């Protein structure tokens, strides 16, 4: 089972959309309402979320797993399944394999996304006592993780530095200059950021709650210093330890942070090319291809195994396009 970062005690995942530099007033924006399940499937989902609540997984991981399992159960309600997948192991295997096909052929999800969905479904069945389904994972492409390159990097940086919100700028620069996951960024507390006259460090809590400390890039240090000054005037500044606050004075959550990243990427004309995680990949790709030792990069990313970091040495889609450009034509 995979997990995201484990949140430190006392941290919570309140979510909000992007705001301006000064905390605005008004009701927060809300995401789409969850799919309504019929009573039997709703009861199964409620039992699963109750079981998740008793695990040491982070709040974000629990939310993600619960959401993916709800989507699977909603598909069971509308799909053509044989037998009862909630009690019959054979029916479970058939249903999960058909769901895998649905995600690939109908929903057009990537192999990585499909495998993540299957991991959540396996967790659901395992906690229900039925065991993981016999459904093979899909092969992942042997290319480097997608990252911004060339002019796309400059376009994104310009858009990030052009936002009016001091908070949003500091938030946006964190994955790019520190290689953090979005869940790690919103989990930051004020005391995780240390600033001196010329330097600074930031402490992240990665998978399993494992801490790591990363030196602050000068641009990130400048953004943090500016946000900490402005933050003092926000609701919750004296009562909430979170570094990044939402409009209600609570901790900014993953959904709210994702909306901020999406807005900046859209402003840069990169809405189809990136996300917060692509910025983390950009950080890693830049360091690895710049000659930084893989062990150093692995430590900065919080990777437990070097195999995870070696992915950034694989060819990218851009590399393959460049290779094709070497071939001559006769016109």
Q: Which of 63, 68, 169, 207 is catalytic?
A: 207
pLDDT for 56 equals: 83
Listed in order, strand segments (DSSP E) in the chain are 193-195, 200-205, 211-215
Q: Which of 11, 231, 255, 303 is catalytic?
A: 303
Q: How far apart are CA 179 and CA 304, in angstroms?
A: 15
Tell me if residue 312 is catalytic: yes
Tokens of 310: 């070696």
Q: Tell me the sheet residues that pair with 242.
A: 189
**Mean pLDDT value across the chain:** 84
Q: Which of 63, 167, 280, 281 is catalytic?
A: 280
Count of alpha carbons within 13 angstroms of residue 214, beta-carbon side: 27
In the structure, what pLDDT confidence band is assigned to residue 35 with cuts at 50, 70 and 90?
confident
18-50 burial by CB neighbour count: b if 16+ within 10 A, else e? bbebebeeeeeeeeeeeeebeeebeebbeebbe
pLDDT of residue 5 exceeding 80, the answer is no
What is the average pLDDT across 12-23?
38
Q: Tell me the sheet residues that pair with 93.
A: none
Query: Which ranges of 232-293 does DSSP label H, i.e. alpha helix?
Result: 254-267, 276-289
Say if strands 211-215 and 200-205 run parallel, antiparallel, or are unpaired. antiparallel
Tell me if residue 181 is catalytic: yes
Q: Which of 92, 181, 221, 255 is catalytic?
A: 181
Q: Which of 146, 248, 277, 311 is catalytic?
A: 277
Q: Are the C-beta atoms of 9 and 20 separated by less than 8 Å?
A: no
**CATH level 3 topology of 151-321:** hpI Integrase; Chain A (1.10.443)
Q: How far apart are CA 125 and CA 182, in angstroms?
A: 28
Tell me if residue 217 is catalytic: no
- Please give the model's pTM, rounded to 2 decimal places: 0.65
What is the average pLDDT across 158-185?
94
The string of pLDDT tens digits covering residues 230-243 is 999 999 999 999 99
In the structure, what pLDDT confidence band is assigned to residue 319 with cuts at 50, 70 and 90?
confident
pLDDT for 147 equals: 83
pLDDT for 23 equals: 40
Residue 251 is given by DSSP the state B
Tell me if residue 281 is catalytic: no
């Amino acid at each position: 089972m995979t997990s995201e970062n484990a949140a430190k005690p006392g941290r919570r995942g309140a979510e909000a959309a992007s705001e301006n530099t000064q905390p605005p007033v008004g009701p927060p924006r809300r995401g789409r309402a969850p799919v309504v399940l019929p009573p039997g499937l709703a009861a199964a989902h409620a039992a699963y979320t109750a079981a998740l609540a008793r695990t040491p997984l982070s709040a974000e991981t629990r939310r993600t797993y619960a959401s993916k399992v709800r989507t699977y159960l909603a598909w069971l309600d509308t799909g053509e399944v044989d037998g009862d997948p909630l009690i019959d192991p054979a029916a479970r295997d058939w249903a999960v394999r058909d769901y895998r096909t649905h995600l690939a052929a109908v929903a057009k999800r990537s192999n990585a996304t499909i495998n993540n969905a299957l991991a959540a479904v396996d967790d659901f069945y395992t906690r229900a006592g039925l065991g993981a389904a016999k459904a093979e994972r899909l092969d992942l492409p042997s290319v480097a993780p997608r990252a911004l390159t060339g002019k796309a990097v400059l376009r994104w940086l310009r858009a990030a530095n052009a936002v009016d919100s001091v908070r949003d700028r500091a938030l946006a620069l964190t994955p790019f200059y520190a290689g953090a996951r979005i869940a790690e960024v919103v989990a930051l507390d004020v005391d995780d950021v240390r600033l001196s006259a010329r330097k600074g460090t930031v402490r992240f809590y990665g998978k399993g709650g494992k801490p790591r400390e990363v030196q602050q890039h000068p641009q990130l240090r400048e953004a943090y210093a500016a946000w900490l000054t402005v933050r003092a005037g926000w609701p919750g500044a004296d009562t909430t330890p979170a570094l990044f606050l939402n409009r209600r004075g609570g901790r900014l959550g993953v959904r709210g942070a994702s909306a901020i990243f999406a807005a900046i990427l859209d402003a840069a004309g990169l809405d189809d090319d990136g996300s917060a995680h692509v910025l983390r990949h950009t950080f890693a790709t830049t360091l690895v291809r710049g000659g930084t030792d893989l062990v150093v990069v692995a430590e900065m990313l919080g990777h437990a195994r070097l195999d995870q970091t070696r992915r950034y040495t694989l060819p990218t889609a851009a590399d393959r396009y460049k290779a094709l450009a070497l071939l001559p034509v006769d016109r």
